[in-house]
Amino acid sequence: MRTGVANGIHGTVSDAEGLSSLKISIQHDSGAYWRPDGSFGARQWHDGNVVAPDGHWRLMFSPAAAGEYVVTVVA
């Protein structure tokens, strides 16, 4: 991912009925997690929102470090 540029992470949940939010963690290839305050460290969850009736969700973020990221989503 490019640093300093807003990147979108998005997906679709298969059963969105009654679901309005979810939790998202973003782990850098260094092993540290990108936290909601923009720092890296121990895992902290970002709040994600379901933005469409079909279950589409989205989170925008601007990574401070180049590299690969692993995204975990929990509904």
**pLDDT, tens only, 26-61:** 999 999 999 999 899 999 999 988 888 888 888 988
Domain region containing 11: 7-74
Is 2 part of any domain? no
Is 55 part of any domain? yes
Total number of domains in the chain: 1
Radius of gyration of the chain (CA): 13
pLDDT at 25 over 90: yes
Is 20 part of any domain? yes
* pLDDT in the model for residue 72: 96
The pTM (predicted TM-score) of the whole model is: 0.83
Is 1 part of any domain? no
How many whole angstroms separate alpha carbon 2 and alpha carbon 10? 16
Of the candidates 73, 3, 64, the one whose C-alpha atom is nearest the C-alpha of residue 32 is 64
C-beta separation of 45 from 24 below 8 A: yes
Helices (H) and strands (E) in the chain, counts: 0, 7
Is 52 part of any domain? yes
